[in-house]
Amino acid sequence: MSPSAATAAPAPPVPRRIPAPPLAGTLAALLLLSLVCAVGLGASDLTWGQVLHLLRAGLTGGTIRADEQSAYAIVWHIRLPRTVLAAVVGAGLATVGVAVQAMVRNALADPFVLGISSGAAVGANAVILLGAFSVLGMWALPVSAFGSALAAMVLVYAAARSAHGLTPLRLVLTGTAMSYGFSAVTTLMVFSADRGEAARSAMMWLLGSLGGATWGSVPVAAATVLAGAVHLALSAGRLNALAMGDETAAALGVDARRLRRELFVVTAAVTGTVVAVSGAIGFVGLMVPHLVRMVVGADHRQVLAVTPLAGAVLLVWVDVVSRTVLAPAEVPVGVVTAVVGVPCFLLLMRRRGYAFGGR
């Protein structure tokens, strides 16, 4: 044996992966259980028997006694839409996080790096603090937030686009710069407004809150997230190529510029929609894709089969904590995700050998 062979460092062990299909099935079952448990937890003291009876009555059209009307309203009109919306928002942010990280080839990217959430905050605060679009009634906040998110998307796209197309570095830099600008506008609006409940509501929205969830806000958000997730799942092969670099993608027959434009539109639409109904909730789109890659590997076909379910389960339980830890007061959802996400992400970054590819 040669000296060089004798002293060569041993190859690092190949991490064992969990196949995506059984993991997705397990997470789907866990999500269903989490939804039921989350509906049963809250400031109002309801027994599990009551919760299951009221859920069954609502789903099957069963009879509700007069003395159960108050509990039925809590379960069916307050907790259930909020819990379902938490699952939708969590799935959307986590899924878009995968797309953004592949689009800019940066493992530190998340759905908010494009500046879209900060743009949505401008529209939302215009409603909360200035009473804009009051003619739209209950739809004023989501419509204004989504509209300003789309306007932010157009501005970022126009500023980032060059003769060489939509490059990752220009996207990140432009999105970051625009985000600071939109945040400055939002801060000015908050400081200019009268102190009181409006300013508090604005801050709650900026930190993320599902307190305003209604059944009316669920269908549009769910449809947008589902459409985005399906599109990304069908594009998983192209995402694998894009993650390896534009030259490699071109060699594999993938037009990186065109794909990046597609991803930009999808991420903007999904992010704008979920931010419009939940506010700015951080760390979900950053943390969940990392954790999923560690478990299933870097193949986007595997990652995108698991990530939406993982994000949904995470945000359902984060919302439970946000509304129960200081009940009857409510902690902003974004605060809870930061408390969980910061130490988790620091540990993740210190993990030996971790890279974008999931090692």
- Token readout for 355 is 């890279």
pLDDT of 139 reads 77
Condensed to tens digits (0 to 9), the pLDDT of residues 318-327 reads: 999 998 888 7
Of the ranges 8-22, 114-128, 237-251, which one carries the lowest mean pLDDT score? 8-22
Q: Are 330 and 200 in contact (CB under 8 A)?
A: no
Taking domain 83-350, whether its CATH number is 1.10.3720.10 is answered by: no
The C-alpha atoms of residue 145 and residue 123 are separated, in whole angstroms, by 5
Q: What are the sequence ranges of the domains in the chain?
A: 83-350
Burial of 50 (0-12, 13-18, 19+ CB in 10 A): middle
Question: Which pTM value belongs to this model?
Answer: 0.86
Average pLDDT estimate for 15-38: 89
User: Cα-flanking dihedrals φ and ψ of residue 144, to 5°?
Assistant: -65, -40
Average pLDDT estimate for 329-346: 86
Condensed to tens digits (0 to 9), the pLDDT of residues 135-153 reads: 877 778 788 888 888 888 8
**pLDDT, mean over the chain:** 84
The C-alpha atoms of residue 28 and residue 308 are separated, in whole angstroms, by 10
Condensed to tens digits (0 to 9), the pLDDT of residues 218-236 reads: 998 999 999 999 999 999 9
| Residue entry with tokens 């928002």 | 89
Of the ranges 165-179, 186-200, 327-341, which one carries the lowest mean pLDDT score? 186-200
Burial of 54 (0-12, 13-18, 19+ CB in 10 A): buried
DSSP letter, residue 66 = G
Average pLDDT estimate for 296-307: 92
CA-nearest of 298, 293, 282, 234 to 262 is 234
pLDDT of 195 reads 62
Count of CA atoms in the C-beta half-sphere (13 A) of 237: 4
Task: Count Cβ atoms below 10 Å from residue 237 Cβ, excluding itself.
Answer: 13
> Measuring CA to CA, how many Å separate 255 from each of 154, 261, 331?
22, 10, 44
CA-nearest of 43, 44, 84, 130 to 277 is 84
Give 128-136 contacts, CB < 8 A, sequence gap 24+.
128/198, 128/201, 128/202, 128/205, 129/189, 129/190, 129/192, 129/193, 129/198, 129/199, 129/202, 130/189, 130/193
pLDDT of 196 reads 65
Note the maximum CA span of the chain. Answer: 87
Instruction: Report which secondary-structure segment, H or E, holds 154.
Output: helix 140-160
Query: What region, left, alpha or beta, does residue 245 occupy, with left being phi > 0 and alpha being psi -120 to 50 degrees?
Result: left
Q: Are 333 and 317 in contact (CB under 8 A)?
A: no
Average pLDDT estimate for 141-169: 81
pLDDT of 357 reads 44
Average pLDDT estimate for 298-305: 92
